[in-house]
Every structure is written in C-alpha cells, then in structure tokens.
Chain A
Amino acid sequence: MKKIALYTTIFALFGGALYVAVAAGKTGAATQPAEAQAATTEAAPAQPAAAAETAAAPADAAKEPVVCFESRKGASEVTQREIRPGWPNVKCSPTTGAALWYGDPFDGTVPMGKMPGLENIPEGHALVKPRSEKLAILPMCATACHNGVGPKFTPPTLPKDKKPTPIPTMEGLLPELKEFQHGRGRLWCLDCHHTTQRNKLVDNFGDPIDFDQSQLLCGKCHGDKLRDWRDGIHGKRIGEWASDGKKRWFLCTECHNPHNVQQGERNRGFAQLQPEPPPPLPKGMPDMKHELVHPVAH
C-alpha cells in the first residue's frame, strides 16, 4: 500500500512536470504566431494602403459591384453582395471571374413552371433563375420588329421555305447568329422560336413556351437528356441534396449556347473556357515538364 502511494506521488509529480513541459511548449508555440501576427499587422497597414490606392484610383470601380458568371460566359451571372456580415452570396474567382462558392444558392430565383414528371417535388422546391431577364433584347422582339404589323403582314404571309434569310439588323443585334450551328445545318429559326410571338419558344403543337422553360423546347428532340435532367442526372442543381429538396435547377441555355452548340475546338456541347490556376509545383520542381516524361516511351 505504501509502495503504491509512493508511486502515485511520483506519478503526480511526473504528471505535473509533464504538464509544465507541455504548457511551456504550447505557450512557446503560441507566442510565435502572435509575433508573426504582429509582424503581419505591422506590414498590413502598408498593404491596405496599397489596396486603397488601387481602389481609390478607379473610385467608381470600388462601388461597382462584382459580377461573376455562373456556368458559361455570356449566360447567367450573379452580383456579389453581403447577406450578413462576412458572408457573401457568392465568391468569384479572381482569375477567371467564375462563381466559385455559393453563400446563397437561391439568390434571384423564381419557382419553376409546371412540367410533367416533376409532380413529386413539393411546391416551391424547384426554382430557376429567370432567363428572360438576361436576354436583353427579348422584350423588344415582339414589339419593335416581329410585331405582326407592316406591309409584309397584310395580308399575313409566312416564309415559304425553311432557308433562313440573313437579316442585317438581326445579325447586328445577335452577332453569334453568323456562326449559327445547331443540328448540323438541319434547323432554322422557327423550329425553336414561335412564328407569331417572337418572344416565346414553340412546342410540337405550335403553342408558345416561355423562355424560362427552355427544357420543354429542347426536350422535343433531346428526350433522353430531358429525362436525365428531370431526374437530376444531367445538368446542374444547387441547394439541397435530398431528392425532394429545395434546389435551383439550371436551365438548358444556362450551360449550352443554343445558337452555337458544338462550340470550341473539342466539338462538344460545352464551350471552352479559361481554367482556374493549377496547384503549387512540387518542392524543387521549376516547371511542370516532369509530368510529361512517361516511364514508357510512346
């Protein structure tokens, strides 16, 4: 019994010594970052000053909101703002300007219109970002030019064949029409756009489809893709992962350019874009050439 008591005292002392050593080590470690921090805070005023200078030079630019593109360039965008202190709705890439992180996945969305096959999703859980807001000339289409009045329309005449006639004004407004490329030359405007209501798309019955429901149009031909999109396999959704969760559904045209689908060198559905920066090189490697050396020649 005495022996045990002796051991315990020894261990108590030893434990104490151990603690002291640990504490000393930790405080030593703790003071170091504090010093480093002090150093950075000392250096910091210089940096903000420099930052302030660059920010002050284009004073308006500082106020100008940061806008980043979401899927592809030229489609949906999101404007950065603070939801709560230190919590932005989105973070943008300083390199490419792409959206890199979502603080609020439902920013600027509206409920998606009805669509067959989505009956099981609770009301208000399927959201989309309205495309019509992004398409700048859309409100004018049916009023300014394709308004159904004018000499050509009395008596009403429709084009006799499906050979698109280049209209300079139209091409001026939408330059990408010059490289129109969809269906390998076997499609023309009115296969997708409504004949008399030009700010609408058209379904198989000739009835108008809203621009915010482009999937109903695209699904006319790409039925397999529509099915996969509906089931969440094709395309992009952000928000909640549960199968009946609240999600923002990305629409077809947010990722694909309908007027130039096989864009880019790779001839695939998605346009080429600038990649984000690569990881740091391994220690001692001046460049990435080592990656190109194959163990076997070919």
Chain B
Amino acid sequence: MLSLSSLMGTAALMAESDDAQAAIEWAEHFQKNYRLMTDEEKAEARARLEKRYSEEYGKQVTVDTTPAQPGVLMGYALNIRKCIGCRRCVHACVAENNQSRGKNRPGEKIEWIQVLRMERGKFDAEKMNHGYPEGLGIQVGGNAYTPVGQVLEGQYHYTPDLVPEKDATYMPIACMQCEKPPCVKVCPVRTTYREPDGVVVIDYNWCIGCRMCMGACPYWARRLNVTNPVLPKEEMNPVTHYLGNRPRMRGVVEKCHWCLQRTRHGRYPACVEVCPVGARKFGNLLDPNSEVSLILARKNVFRLKADLNTFPKFFYFYD
C-alpha cells in the first residue's frame, strides 16, 4: 500500500514530463527482476532497450529474450592437451560479447577468458635430498617443490614469439556454469541465477555492483565494470540477448554466459569457433550423441576444483 502510493506519486510526476529519455530511464529504474517479469513486461523492456541501444550505437540492435529450450542442458569440454595458448578464444569472446575495451584507464579493458600458462615440472634425482627447511634433510620433500604436471600457479601475461612453448601447458579458464553456483548463493538481490538450460546469467539491471559474487566464485570468472564501458560503435555486436551480451553499464558485474545469444539459437559459442586446434567442444549434455556427452563417455575428464562441490558443467579432458 505504502510503496504503491509512492509509486503513484512518482507516476504523477512522470506524467508531467514529456522527456522520452527520462521516461525510458524511469521505466528502467523501476523494472522488475527479470525472473519475475511477465511476457508483456519482457517485451516492453526489450522494445525499450532496442530503441535505446539502436540510438546509442547508430545501428539496428536486437535484444533477444528467447528462454531456455526444453530438453537442453548445455555443457562444455576443453581438451587441455591440445590448447596451444594462442588466446584467440579470449579475443573472439570480446568481439562477440560487447565487453569494454578501453586502453587508457585501469579496469577499462575486460576479458572473460583467461589463459593460464603453466610450467611443466619434472622429478629430478638431484633434488632427492633437497627439502625445506634446507640443510636438515628431508623434512618437507625435495621433489615436491618442483611441480609436476599442472599447478594453479600460472602466468597470464606470457608473450613469447611463438606458442606453444616447449615447457609449458596452457589452461584457459572462464565461468564454469556451476550446477551449484556459489555466486548465486551470495547474491543479495538475486540478480544472478541459473537458467533451466544450465547457464548462470545476470540481469544487469538489478545488479547493484556489490561484488559478493566475485568473492564467492572460485574460478575468478566475474568482472566488474569499474568505469563506463568503452565500446566503439563500429565494433559493437548488434545481435544481443537480454541475459547475454547486451551492452552493460558502469557498476555491474559480468561474466561468460556461453554466448546465450548464439547458443539459444543453435549456434556454437564464439570461442569454440575460433580455437585453431579444436580444443573447445560444446553441446547438449542430455543428448547422448553430442560431442560433450561422447567426451564424458570416452575420455579422461576432470572438473576444476571439484572438491568445492560447485559441480561445473565445464569439463577439462585429455586424449
């Protein structure tokens, strides 16, 4: 009753204003959480956003609201033996998903995929008696301090002339689309949630930028728009989804959403399509013949930080 009347008060104010821009901002400000919106309200929000973005970017921008398709649970697999660390996936993602790409101020450039370069370790006879503390014989084992295989202690900024380097492996990470997402558990305004097809999405309009989810995510997947996003008109991708790659505003968190604007219409995510070695695989986990299901059935598969019980739907595998 009380809030209703306060709304009426503002509505009365609004009726007097004939400023279309203000009307749009007002409507956006009082928009419901996307999950609670009726189909009409979604259509309204969509029309409003399409109008605003089209004007802002000087081209016809579409904002899709296609819901999850029944019988689909999206899954992703990455062949860790194949990845050569070329970072094409990182840049394809930026081209597709309208991230901020400024160069001048810190935080203006946002990339969702990170490629970790990791050293290949080895066991070494010379290190048999080394240990910690040094000189006291083996207290904490010698060879244990030469990492063998993968350790999550990597480099993001490697710049060799050619990849893959001889003694390195590469591990791309992004949002794992957890089945039990810690980010969803902590969001105080419940603006990030899991869609029925398994993708964890964000309604940017309701994000208050509190960064709880960034702290909760064990995979460093989330990014905050610290500045006003820098998105040149000619580079902007006009095919967008409401929960996906539509342009974001300052102060909201964003992350990988498996290219919802593509995958809801059957198309592979952008990173899958550019990976030169075919390390990235995407498909329907409920379809036993999909690439991902066959990988799960046939290959050696692991999930990153499986001990945290986040149940990612992003799998790493090797031949």
Determine whether A148 belongs to the interface, using a CB cutoff of 8 Å to chain B: no
Are B276 and A255 closer than 8 Å at their CB atoms? Answer: yes
Are B164 and A272 closer than 8 Å at their CB atoms? Answer: yes
Closest to B147 in A: A298
Q: Complex Cα distance A73/B4, Å?
A: 64
What 1/0 mask marks residues of chain B from 279 to 294 whose CB sits below 8 Å from any chain A CB? Answer: 0011110010111001
Q: Complex Cα distance A30/B284, Å?
A: 42
Determine whether B266 belongs to the interface, using a CB cutoff of 8 Å to chain A: yes
Closest to B127 in A: A298
Are A18 and B10 closer than 8 Å at their CB atoms? Answer: yes
Whether A236 contacts B5 in the complex (CB less than 8 A), given A19-B26, A243-B291, A273-B163, comes out as: no
Partner of A233, one of B12, B91, B294: B294
Q: Complex Cα distance A19/B263, Å?
A: 39
Are A236 and B22 closer than 8 Å at their CB atoms? Answer: no
Stretch at the interface among B42-50, B81-89, B175-183: B81-89
Stretch at the interface among B191-199, B204-212, B267-275: B267-275
Total chain B interface residues with beta-carbon distance under 8 A: 81
Are A298 and B6 closer than 8 Å at their CB atoms? Answer: no
Interface set, chain B 68-126, CB cutoff 8 A to A: 82, 84-88, 90-92, 95-96, 103, 106-107, 109, 111, 114
A100 contacts across to B, CB distance below 8 A: 88, 91-92, 95, 274
Partner of A236, one of B91, B276, B290: B276
Interface set, chain A 154-210, CB cutoff 8 A to B: none
Closest to B290 in A: A243
Sample (27) of A-B pairs whose CB atoms are under 8 Å apart: A4-B1, A15-B5, A15-B9, A26-B29, A30-B21, A33-B228, A70-B276, A86-B59, A101-B273, A120-B289, A232-B290, A241-B284, A242-B284, A243-B289, A255-B276, A272-B84, A272-B163, A275-B87, A276-B88, A276-B91, A278-B87, A278-B159, A283-B106, A288-B156, A288-B157, A296-B132, A298-B145
A278 contacts across to B, CB distance below 8 A: 87, 156-159
Determine whether B162 belongs to the interface, using a CB cutoff of 8 Å to chain A: yes
Q: Complex Cα distance A273/B59, Å?
A: 36
Determine whether B161 belongs to the interface, using a CB cutoff of 8 Å to chain A: yes
Are B6 and A291 closer than 8 Å at their CB atoms? Answer: no
Closest to B282 in A: A241
Chain A proximity of B138: nearest CB distance (Å): 15
Are A279 and B114 closer than 8 Å at their CB atoms? Answer: yes
Are A279 and B282 closer than 8 Å at their CB atoms? Answer: no
Q: Complex Cα distance A254/B103, Å?
A: 35
A93 contacts across to B, CB distance below 8 A: 88, 91
Are B146 and A23 closer than 8 Å at their CB atoms? Answer: no
Are A12 and B266 closer than 8 Å at their CB atoms? Answer: no
Interface set, chain A 282-297, CB cutoff 8 A to B: 282-283, 288, 291-292, 294-297
Are A270 and B87 closer than 8 Å at their CB atoms? Answer: no
A282 contacts across to B, CB distance below 8 A: 106
Are A255 and B277 closer than 8 Å at their CB atoms? Answer: yes
Q: Complex Cα distance A241/B284, Å?
A: 8
Partner of A296, one of B10, B145, B155, B162: B145
Determine whether A20 belongs to the interface, using a CB cutoff of 8 Å to chain B: yes
Closest to A267 in B: B166
Q: Complex Cα distance A236/B88, Å?
A: 14
Whether A12 contacts B9 in the complex (CB less than 8 A), given A23-B22, A242-B266, A243-B283, comes out as: yes
Are B294 and A231 closer than 8 Å at their CB atoms? Answer: yes
List B residues at the A interface (Cβ < 8 Å): 1-3, 5-10, 12-14, 21-22, 25-26, 29, 59, 82, 84-88, 90-92, 95-96, 103, 106-107, 109, 111, 114, 132, 145-147, 153-166, 228, 234, 238, 263, 266-268, 270, 272-278, 281-284, 287, 289-291, 294-295, 298-299, 319
Determine whether A277 belongs to the interface, using a CB cutoff of 8 Å to chain B: yes
Closest to A36 in B: B228
Closest to A14 in B: B6
Total chain A interface residues with beta-carbon distance under 8 A: 76
Partner of A105, one of B1, B273, B290: B273
Closest to A270 in B: B277
Are A273 and B84 closer than 8 Å at their CB atoms? Answer: yes
Q: Complex Cα distance A66/B178, Å?
A: 40
Are A255 and B278 closer than 8 Å at their CB atoms? Answer: yes
Are B159 and A275 closer than 8 Å at their CB atoms? Answer: yes
B289 contacts across to A, CB distance below 8 A: 120, 243-244
Chain A proximity of B74: nearest CB distance (Å): 9
Give the residue among A85, A255, A276 with the most B Cβ atoms within 10 A: A276
B164 contacts across to A, CB distance below 8 A: 264, 266, 268, 270, 272
Are B157 and A16 closer than 8 Å at their CB atoms? Answer: no
Given contacts A15-B10, A272-B163, A273-B86, 17 further A-B contacts (CB under 8 A): A8-B5, A14-B6, A19-B13, A70-B276, A86-B59, A86-B234, A93-B88, A232-B281, A232-B291, A238-B268, A239-B268, A241-B267, A243-B289, A272-B84, A275-B160, A276-B87, A280-B103
Whether A23 contacts B26 in the complex (CB less than 8 A), given A16-B9, A275-B87, comes out as: yes
Chain A proximity of B30: nearest CB distance (Å): 9
Are A279 and B276 closer than 8 Å at their CB atoms? Answer: no
Closest to B6 in A: A15
Are A12 and B109 closer than 8 Å at their CB atoms? Answer: no
Chain A proximity of B244: nearest CB distance (Å): 15
A279 contacts across to B, CB distance below 8 A: 90, 109, 111, 114, 156-157
